[in-house]
Chains A and B, each alone.
Chain A
Amino acid sequence: MSAATPQDLVEHALAASRSDHCIAIVHDSTSANLRWANNTLTTNGVMHSMSVTVVALHGTAGGTAAGSVSSSAAAVDQVDRIVEAADAAARAGSPAEDAAELVTGDAVTDWFEPSGGTSIEVYGDLAPALGEAFRRATAEGRVLYGFVDHDVTTTYLGTSTGVRLRHEQPTGHYGCTAKPADLSTSAWVGGATRDFSDVDPTAMDAELVRRLGWASRRVDLPAGRYDTVLPPTAVADLMIYAYWSASARQAHDGQSVFSRRGGGTRIGDRLSDHPLQVYSDPAHDRLRALPFVSTATSSEIESVFDNGLPLSRTHWVRDGTLTALLQNRFTAGLTGQPVTPYVDNLIVEVDGASGSTQDLVAGVERGLLVTCLWYIREVDPQSLLLTGLTRDGVYLVEDGEVTGAVTNYRFNESPVDLMRRFSQASATTPSFSREWGDYFPRTATPALRVPDFNMSTVSQAN
């Protein structure tokens, strides 16, 4: 069995399909990870996967039916099976409500480039430094727990209408939690990277030591509303959820915070009096993301018929006003709005905002600095009320300085309401959501200061 290239698999699928039209998508992915706890490595892995998705489209009396089959595959005979199954599913399927003409086009210039990849060697410099960090932590009475992951996925998408698209996506992130030997408190640092050249375990360890130092003074504070600084990671936690909840279909059907009471969507509503910008941009310098639609199945948000559709910079909120929701061509027709599909990154900016999280802290007379948020779940879709917890360190701020650590809290808050209520923002920086970063790693967000953040109940977690 000779190894087939991803391009071979795409061409083979398109040629083999007996349906009226066909879309073939290959994801070729390698990843390497290290995981540690209690100052020792616990697991690791080097993974390779290759998956083929075939969407077959079959014209019937009432319209066009789509059959979608995805499978791991590395050889053309495996692709034959996938095509056969997709063709059969399309023939047996009922007409799709989102049926549309396929995107047309040609091969992009890099179509024939091989897939990118990674290996355990990406940690060649990091691994010894980590080993050293474990020894130093043990000697100094600290316990480290963490994870690094690097993934390179190359997507090849072809259609029976000529489209041939390729995209290589490196994704990396790191995170480390530290506790003192008595486990009485914890601190966390983490972030996203494309290649680990910018990750420094020594600097990570130093920041953890600084944060554990803040916790040497414990202060008990009850639940309540506090003047709170949310760092960029926490803002990413909340804004990603708002983005995922921005389905135009659900808004149009009266099921989300973006629904207008009485019917229709809230596009055009002012959500914030701040010059707040929320947008996605596949060409963003530091957050480059897939520049075309690639989906195996139609959902509330995406349509298989849109596969290959180019993506561009899309403003969801402009100058505080809701300007777009997640659309495919079908829902754009339903809602009478432009086609604004899902893009795999999110940028939040406040015009004129400058400085860092520390600068926001400096302006707080008495309030809280959060490390990050966790276990965020939707309580009420109507207001997009979310609940969740603070995690790995909430610090008391007095007269602009961190003066100690308080308990963790459960919060109940809506990100849509926070867009209105925040009082101050920092400059926007690349961020990594603690809660969703594994699934949505490309964000740039500011820190936000919220004068009355709802810390609903106390959590004893430390």
Chain B
Amino acid sequence: MTTRHGIDASFTALPYRRMAESALTRAQDFNVSHADFRFERIRSQHVRVRDGRLQGAADSEDVGFSVRVILDGAWGFASGVGLSTEVAVGVAETAVRAAQVAAAMTTRPVALAPEPAYDDVEWVSAYEIDPLAVPLDEKVDLLADWSARLLASDGVEHSTGALSQVVENKFYADLAGTTTTQQRVRLEPDFGVHGTNATTGAFDSMRTIAPPVGRGWEYLTDGYDWDTALGELPGLLAQKLAAPTVNAGHYDLVIHPSNLWLTIHESIGHATELDRALGYEANYAGTSFATVDHLGTLQYGSPVMNVTGDRTMRHGLATIGYDDEGVATQSWDIIKDGVLVGYQLDRPMAQMMPELNGGRSNGCAYADSPGHIPIQRMANVSLQAAPDGPSTEELIGRVDRGIYVVGDRSWSIDMQRYNFQFTGQRFYRIENGRLAGQLRDVAYQATTTDFWSSMEAVGGPGTWELGGAFNCGKAQPGQVASVSHGCPTSLFRDVNVLNTTAEAG
């Protein structure tokens, strides 16, 4: 049962409505074809503990606004920080000036896909307890206690802990008559232990696999089995330190959602962003092999592969009511029975390619802060479970010689989303359908479509978990985003496994 929160009164007391009216009115004086005003307040707090002690705690707040216009087919964007109508008018004028300078370089006029107007709507995410309303000392005590408990365990030389908490408020208004006010909350807890193998001198670490979530403080008190997660960490580290190194080669992999979410993020989430497919990120984050000419024909993976884009799922990090272009959020198919069938869109691209979503954006435009321009950004992109699919144990049972992969660690993929390499928190050898102890120094490497084509089975709904990250990077100037990815435990055949020590030469 989730408490229904309203928008914080300390946010609604800010003068953004008057500022919006002034800025939009001023923009109209220049005969703009579109103008929007976005005001945001993002409050966050980061707490770090080490070896049972507070290492640092910091609160930060980003309050500001921006005005975006289309003038003679060119974008103009400006942002500022004052809280007065005068400042808002000045920023609107700067946006118009930017559009005038931009016009000389805009060879293809910008136009937006239509979207109904939403007259003064509100949306608040599902959470119980505002984490920033919990006293700091209560949070530090809990984290320091957990860190001290870990440090006191056998074989643990150091323990680390961190908690990021964000409460985001967003107000949006445009000349078409849409006005939205929204609020959402997210948390990212992370705890780790570090130790050394006394014989070899090799060191390593092990951290919790609890995902970041769109939930409140309740996630730390009764939203996750922290006792078990923390209790097993020292033993898992000891096993890893004593584990044999992997023999490089090809193995069947059973991959837990705590690792597979990141592979989905990199090889599907980013690859099906339409701005990348169209080349907008060519100079920075990169493009995509999954270009539009392959829509409906590209065999992305095996027929058991079904992937959706979604900005509406409960507790998802990319979940919200309306995007930064005033588009109501949606859920849609990206890959159906292994075939590419959809993309993530914003309004200009939806207008350019009406065949993709009936000429309407699917609500994937957003900025990370008031001072940044909205760009096409990722939805919660998730792999669906098989309705009567197997359990994790059953998937492991199908493997004669393989590796069971749990938790994410390092990730890297090329500029067109073909070649990737991932490591993890822990790797278990699978022998004749059973787990046979941990392995060290494992990385798996593949080409996207080969990897997803090698997916023999997805697990059942009981294996499905929501993972995610706070730190997805894209665009210039750089923006970060938080996004969730759900998936079941899944079985992949014959994947290239590297030994990272051998790679280091």
A193 in the interface, Cβ–Cβ < 8 Å?
no
A271 in the interface, Cβ–Cβ < 8 Å?
no
A451 in the interface, Cβ–Cβ < 8 Å?
no
**Once the chains bind, are A68 and B441 in contact (CB under 8 Å)?**
no
CB proximity to B under 8 Å, residues A382-431: 382-383, 385, 387-389, 391-392, 408, 410, 412-414, 417
A46-B79, A70-B61, A460-B416 given; name 7 further pairs at CB < 8 Å: A46-B95, A51-B62, A127-B101, A297-B58, A379-B500, A456-B421, A459-B414
Interface centre among B194, B283, B410, B504 (most CB of A within 10 A): B283
**Once the chains bind, are B282 and A43 in contact (CB under 8 Å)?**
no
Interface centre among A67, A73, A93, A459 (most CB of B within 10 A): A459
Chain B residue nearest to A134 in the complex (CB): B107
Known contacts being A74-B82, A255-B158, is A383 close to B140, with CB within 8 Å? Answer: no
A100 in the interface, Cβ–Cβ < 8 Å?
no
Tally chain B residues at the interface, Cβ within 8 Å: 89
Q: CB-CB < 8 A to A462: which residues of B?
A: 416
Q: How far is the CB of B420 from chain A (nearest CB, A)?
A: 8
Q: What sequence of 0s and 1s flags, for each residue 110-141 of chain A, a beta carbon within 8 Å of any chain B beta carbon?
A: 00000000001001000110110011001000
A104 in the interface, Cβ–Cβ < 8 Å?
no
Please provide the 4 A-B residue pairs with the shortest distance between their CB atoms, ordered closest to farther: A261-B201, A459-B419, A412-B503, A145-B282
Known contacts being A147-B283, A297-B58, A383-B504, is A94 close to B140, with CB within 8 Å? Answer: yes
Known contacts being A379-B500, A388-B412, A412-B503, is A37 close to B201, with CB within 8 Å? Answer: no
Q: CB-CB < 8 A to B498: which residues of A?
A: 412, 456
**Once the chains bind, are A458 and B416 in contact (CB under 8 Å)?**
no
**Once the chains bind, are B104 and A131 in contact (CB under 8 Å)?**
yes
CA distance A51 to B375 in the complex (A): 24
CA distance A57 to B282 in the complex (A): 47
Q: What are 5 A-B interface contacts by the 8 Å CB criterion?
A: A38-B279, A39-B107, A379-B443, A410-B412, A457-B445
Q: CB-CB < 8 A to A123: which residues of B?
A: 101
Contact for A385 among B140, B201, B504, CB less than 8 A: B504
Q: CB-CB < 8 A to A298: which residues of B?
A: 55-56
CA distance A377 to B414 in the complex (A): 12
Q: How far is the CB of A364 from chain B (nearest CB, A)?
A: 20
Q: How far is the CB of A262 from chain B (nearest CB, A)?
A: 6
A163 in the interface, Cβ–Cβ < 8 Å?
no
Chain B residue nearest to A88 in the complex (CB): B136
Q: CB-CB < 8 A to B201: which residues of A?
A: 261-262
CB proximity to B under 8 Å, residues A49-98: 49-51, 66-75, 85-86, 89, 92-94, 96-97
CA distance A190 to B415 in the complex (A): 17
Q: How far is the CB of B505 from chain A (nearest CB, A)?
A: 6
A155 in the interface, Cβ–Cβ < 8 Å?
no
**Once the chains bind, are B505 and A41 in contact (CB under 8 Å)?**
no
B278 in the interface, Cβ–Cβ < 8 Å?
yes
Known contacts being A40-B105, A94-B144, A253-B158, is A379 close to B135, with CB within 8 Å? Answer: no
Q: How far is the CB of B188 from chain A (nearest CB, A)?
A: 16
Determine, out of A9-17, A171-179, A275-283, the stretch whose residues face the partner at the interface.
A171-179
**Once the chains bind, are A259 and B477 in contact (CB under 8 Å)?**
no
**Once the chains bind, are B136 and A253 in contact (CB under 8 Å)?**
no
Q: CB-CB < 8 A to A75: which residues of B?
A: 82-83
Interface centre among B105, B411, B419, B443 (most CB of A within 10 A): B105
Chain A residue nearest to B101 in the complex (CB): A120
Determine, out of A28-36, A210-218, A235-243, the stretch whose residues face the partner at the interface.
A28-36
**Once the chains bind, are A149 and B48 in contact (CB under 8 Å)?**
no
**Once the chains bind, are A37 and B279 in contact (CB under 8 Å)?**
yes
CA distance A120 to B158 in the complex (A): 49
**Once the chains bind, are B415 and A460 in contact (CB under 8 Å)?**
no
Q: CB-CB < 8 A to A18: which residues of B?
A: none
B304 in the interface, Cβ–Cβ < 8 Å?
no
B303 in the interface, Cβ–Cβ < 8 Å?
no
Q: How far is the CB of B20 from chain A (nearest CB, A)?
A: 18
B57 in the interface, Cβ–Cβ < 8 Å?
yes
A180 in the interface, Cβ–Cβ < 8 Å?
no
Known contacts being A40-B108, A72-B63, is A387 close to B412, with CB within 8 Å? Answer: yes
- The A contact surface, by secondary structure, is strand
Known contacts being A1-B84, A45-B79, A71-B63, is A389 close to B415, with CB within 8 Å? Answer: yes
Q: CB-CB < 8 A to B48: which residues of A?
A: 297, 299
**Once the chains bind, are B373 and A43 in contact (CB under 8 Å)?**
yes
Q: CB-CB < 8 A to B148: which residues of A?
A: none
**Once the chains bind, are B77 and A376 in contact (CB under 8 Å)?**
no
A146 in the interface, Cβ–Cβ < 8 Å?
yes
B489 in the interface, Cβ–Cβ < 8 Å?
no
Known contacts being A93-B140, A461-B414, is A71 close to B282, with CB within 8 Å? Answer: no
Q: How far is the CB of B148 from chain A (nearest CB, A)?
A: 12
CA distance A175 to B285 in the complex (A): 13
- The B contact surface, by secondary structure, is mixed
Q: CB-CB < 8 A to A374: which residues of B?
A: 286, 414-415
A354 in the interface, Cβ–Cβ < 8 Å?
no
**Once the chains bind, are B421 and A410 in contact (CB under 8 Å)?**
yes
**Once the chains bind, are A1 and B83 in contact (CB under 8 Å)?**
yes
Contact for B105 among A34, A68, A145, CB less than 8 A: A34
Q: How far is the CB of A67 from chain B (nearest CB, A)?
A: 8
Known contacts being A46-B94, A379-B443, is A94 close to B419, with CB within 8 Å? Answer: no
Q: How far is the CB of A140 from chain B (nearest CB, A)?
A: 15
Q: CB-CB < 8 A to B289: which residues of A?
A: 460-461
Q: How far is the CB of A55 from chain B (nearest CB, A)?
A: 9
CA distance A438 to B61 in the complex (A): 22
Contact for A49 among B54, B196, B371, CB less than 8 A: B371
Q: How far is the CB of B343 from chain A (nearest CB, A)?
A: 16
Contact for B477 among A1, A31, A179, A296, CB less than 8 A: A31
**Once the chains bind, are B503 and A44 in contact (CB under 8 Å)?**
no
Q: CB-CB < 8 A to A46: which residues of B?
A: 77-79, 94-95, 97-98
**Once the chains bind, are B418 and A33 in contact (CB under 8 Å)?**
no
Q: CB-CB < 8 A to B46: which residues of A?
A: 297
Q: CB-CB < 8 A to B61: which residues of A?
A: 69-72
B461 in the interface, Cβ–Cβ < 8 Å?
no
**Once the chains bind, are A138 and B107 in contact (CB under 8 Å)?**
yes
CA distance A130 to B106 in the complex (A): 10
Chain B residue nearest to A254 in the complex (CB): B203
Q: What sequence of 0s and 1s flags, for each residue 61-92 of chain B, a beta carbon within 8 Å of any chain A beta carbon?
A: 11110000000001111111111100000000
CA distance A380 to B289 in the complex (A): 29
CB proximity to A under 8 Å, residues B122-170: 135-137, 140, 144, 157-158
CA distance A46 to B99 in the complex (A): 11
Q: CB-CB < 8 A to B58: which residues of A?
A: 68-70, 296-297
CA distance A439 to B57 in the complex (A): 22
A202 in the interface, Cβ–Cβ < 8 Å?
no
**Once the chains bind, are A456 and B64 in contact (CB under 8 Å)?**
no
Q: CB-CB < 8 A to A299: which residues of B?
A: 48, 55-56
CA distance A438 to B373 in the complex (A): 17
CA distance A380 to B46 in the complex (A): 26
Q: CB-CB < 8 A to B95: which residues of A?
A: 46
Chain B residue nearest to A414 in the complex (CB): B504
Q: CB-CB < 8 A to B97: which residues of A?
A: 46, 120
Q: CB-CB < 8 A to A255: which residues of B?
A: 158, 194, 203, 205
B284 in the interface, Cβ–Cβ < 8 Å?
yes
A47 in the interface, Cβ–Cβ < 8 Å?
yes
Q: What sequence of 0s and 1s flags, for each residue 356-379 of chain A, a beta carbon within 8 Å of any chain B beta carbon?
A: 000000000000000000111111
CA distance A38 to B205 in the complex (A): 45
Q: How far is the CB of B26 from chain A (nearest CB, A)?
A: 15
Known contacts being A38-B279, A46-B77, A46-B98, is A130 close to B140, with CB within 8 Å? Answer: no
B494 in the interface, Cβ–Cβ < 8 Å?
no
CA distance A452 to B476 in the complex (A): 34
**Once the chains bind, are A438 and B98 in contact (CB under 8 Å)?**
no
B60 in the interface, Cβ–Cβ < 8 Å?
yes
**Once the chains bind, are A93 and B136 in contact (CB under 8 Å)?**
yes
CA distance A177 to B283 in the complex (A): 5
**Once the chains bind, are B136 and A43 in contact (CB under 8 Å)?**
no
